Structure 1
Amino acid sequence: MGGKIEHGGNLARARALFPHAPEPWIDLSTGINPNSYPHSPLPGNAFSRLPDPEDLGRLKEAAARSYGAPSAAHVAAGPGTQILLPIVARLLKNGGKAAILSPTYAEHARAARLAGYDVREVNDPERLLEADLAVTVNPNNPTGRIVPRPQLLELAARLREKGGLLVVDEAFQDASDSESVADAVDSGGLLVLRSFGKFYGMAGVRLGFAISHPGLIARIEDELGPWSVSGPALRIGSEALVDKEWKRAMRERLHRSAVRLDALFEQRGISVVGGTSLFRFVRHAEAQRIFHTLGQEGVFVRRFADRPEELRLGLPADDQWGRVETALAKFTC
Structure 2
Amino acid sequence: MNKQPFYELTPDTVIDAVESLGYLSDGRIMALNSYENRVYQVGIEEETPLIAKFYRPERWSDEQIKEEHQFMYELVEQELSVVAPMQQANGESLFSFQDFRFSLFERRGGRAPELDDPEHQFQLGRTIGRIHQVGQSRPFIHRPTLDIQSYGIDSADFISREFIPSTLKNAYDSLTSDLLREIDSAFKRAGDVKQIRVHGDCHAGNILWRDDTPHFVDFDDARMAPAVQDVWMFLTGDRQQQQLQIGEVIEGYNEFADFDPRELHLIEALRTLRMMHYAAWIARRWDDPAFPHNFSWFNTERYWGEHLLQLREQFSALQEPVLKLR
Fold similarity call, TM over 0.5: no
Ranked by relative contact order (alpha carbons within 8 Å, sequence separation 6 or more), the top structure is: 1
Per the normalisation by structure 1, the TM-score is: 0.27
Instruction: Return the structure number with greater helix share.
Output: 2
